[in-house]
Amino acid sequence: MGAAGNATRDRWWRPLWLSAPILSVTVLSVASGIAQFGVTTIIGDVAVEFGEVVGDEALEQLGLPATTIGIALALIRLASLGSLPTAALADRFGRRRTLLTAMAVGLALTSLSALAWSFWVFVVAVALARPLLSGVNALAGVISAEETDSGSRAWALALIAAAYGLGSGIVAVGRGLLPGEPSFRPVMAFSLLPLLLLPVLAKRIREPRIAAHAERAVGLPGRVPRELVGRVALLAGLVGAIALATGPGFTYLFVYGEGVLGASPLLLSALVVAAGPVGLAGILIGRFCADRFGRVVTGGVAMAVTGGAVAYAYAGTIRDLAIGYLLTIAGSSAFAPATGALIAELVPTKVRATVAGWETVAGVLGAVIGLALFGVLADLTGGFVAASRWIGLSVAVIAIGFRLLPETRGRELDEVDEAAR
């Protein structure tokens, strides 16, 4: 009983989803949230610094046209398409090596964006960092899934999702507390701090057992076995669809809130702070429902709620924005652990990181389309109401597609590998 008893006590005092490797990649997810969401919080400040306020109309207060800002944000998101080769390399050279390299270079480039001398130089700098940081997000989820069993996998993925949200909250609050007129430079330079912590975290991150012993992927990076293409493509379409709503829903929070509705930076920062516990509640609800009712139904319902929330958020008042934004946070947070577990449990280990990269690419494409469409429709109609309703309600309807995917609750990754042989 000695060994079994010790194992039981170890699981009691420290569940698998709270092991040192998972906690370490969780910190990297916090850093990724800081680096990536920093762009969202300060894009309006960058536009004002390098643009010109030409009138008293709401959209004229942005410094640059809404279409220009939308295109810039879309290009930054589009750069995340490079996360596919980053993730695919992890199936060839290992999770740990790829993760740490992408994190180091991504944080360094983000920090350098603080030295930008023009709007488009800033865009190029953060666009170069984006594919690496997006790859870190994908690999953090893969490592967490592979370090856990079926009963704790949703917990681990919920922790990763919460960590990214925490990083977003940290950078938003920091920006709101800056004295005087907000500047993008100190916000982007803050990424130096997690970069300095990286050597310490690297010592606690290991190659997951199942990945270390798995067959290495071969062929062109990004290649998926033919028998998996259908389900991977369907899941990618659903991930891309929810990003169609969350891309503009999250990204335009500060631009719309400050530039159009006249909300104060501190008020919007407080909203982001409130999003922390709301997002955590959504993650826990998603984790519970994924383990209780299944990955598929949880993902579908969460996606429908997210689409409806985005449609409501930009209805025209600060109250609508606050309620809709928080509901969007809750819905998309519940979506993360259920869909993350589904992705891991649908495919074998040798292509798991590659598939995670494809899902990231799908999310990027959805967000890019949503951002570009949002900006164009805002300029054409003089507001964001029409864009939010069309996009949000369409996403809610597309969520029905989850019914076409197989349920994977209770499935161990070793079983997936065995079935694929």
Q: Which of 326, 318, 361, 330 is nearest to 343 (CA)?
A: 361
Q: What is the pLDDT of residues 154-208, one digit of tens each?
A: 888 888 888 887 887 777 777 766 666 667 788 888 888 888 888 888 888 888 8
- DSSP secondary structure letter of residue 94: -
Q: What is the pLDDT of residues 225-283, one digit of tens each?
A: 788 888 888 999 999 999 988 988 887 776 777 767 777 777 777 777 787 788 889 98
Half-sphere exposure of 64 (CA within 13 A, CB side): 21
pLDDT of residue 6: 34
CATH number for the domain formed by residue range(s) 18-420: 1.20.1250.20
**Residue 418: C-alpha distances to residues 139, 157, 224, 283 (Å):** 22, 23, 17, 30
Q: Which of 56, 31, 251 is nearest to 160 (CA)?
A: 31
Residue 313 · residue 393 · CB < 8 Å: no
Q: How far apart are CA 7 and CA 10, in angstroms?
A: 5
pLDDT of residue 180: 61
Residue 87 · residue 360 · CB < 8 Å: yes
Residue 266 · residue 179 · CB < 8 Å: no
Q: Which two tokens stand for residue 386?
A: 């029409």
Domain boundaries, the chain: 18-420
| Rounded to 5°, angle at Cα 297 from 21 and 228 | 70
Q: Which two tokens stand for residue 334?
A: 């519940």
- DSSP secondary structure letter of residue 410: T
pLDDT of residue 270: 78
Residue ranges of the chain with per-residue pLDDT less than 50: 1-11, 55-61
Backbone angles phi, psi at 14, to 5 degrees: -140, 95
